[in-house]
Amino acid sequence: MTSPTTADPRLQLIATARDFYQQGWMLGTAGNLSARLPDGSFWITASGKSKGELLLSDFVRIAPDGKLEASASNLQPSAETSIHQLIYRLFPESQVCYHIHSIEGNLVSRLVAGDSLPLPPLEMLKGLGIGQENPCCVMPIFTNHLEVSQIAADIENRFAVTPPQIPALLIRDHGVTVWAASGEASRNYIELLEYIFRYMVVASRLDVLPNKQSF
């Protein structure tokens, strides 16, 4: 087991979760965060834990083969663990994966009826790796199945054919998931997307956003 030192990625996850909780993006026990270790295993938030009060003991470790490593606490991993595991497999450069629940994220998932959300050509897209002038960027949307394994299967099947333009996906009426090579980058992606989502919600109310669907 990783010892609780300043190099322990759980410390950064705790700080990030507290910040997201204060932003209203991880209220109650909603959302989950994970960080990968050099051996391919990863720490992920345990199920049923308040993200504003996490402790080092509120994480479980998932082995490279996907099995839960034994611990004295008998905690259960987040319900979305299979999605984190898939992201790390599909995008080997990723070291951190964050999933939050925000009001704006759920609202924008209803702006379109299809499985792709066109994002407005805002300057913020540069921070997500889209540097073209007047970019055409879409964000993949997935159905929120009761069985998370089905969501993971849908993600894998779709990304095998159409890789995402940005390191993020949206689950309708559920929340956004991002991944990156560092915790700082993942946090930035969340903040940038939430800005874009807020813009889209306001723009849809002003009737200036194309391809919108009524909430």
Annotated binding site: 99, 101
User: Which backbone phi and psi does 99 adopt, to 5 degrees?
Assistant: -135, 125
Backbone angles phi, psi at 57, to 5 degrees: -80, 0
Q: How far apart are CA 101 and CA 118, in angstroms?
A: 20
Residues 6+ apart with CB under 8 A from 164: 139, 140
Would the CA dihedral through 147, 150, 156, 162 be positive or negative? negative
Query: Which structure tokens are listed for 51?
Result: 């993200």
Q: How far apart are CA 158 and CA 83, in angstroms?
A: 13
Q: Which residues contact 83 (CB under 8 A, 6 or more apart)?
A: 97, 99, 148, 151, 152, 155, 177
What distance in Å separates the CA atoms of residue 152 and residue 131, rounded to the nearest whole number? 29
User: 3-state DSSP call for residue 97?
Assistant: strand
Based on the number of CB atoms within 10 Å of its own CB, is 83 exposed (0-12), middle (13-18) or buried (19 or more)?
A: buried
Annotated binding site for Zn(2+): 99, 101
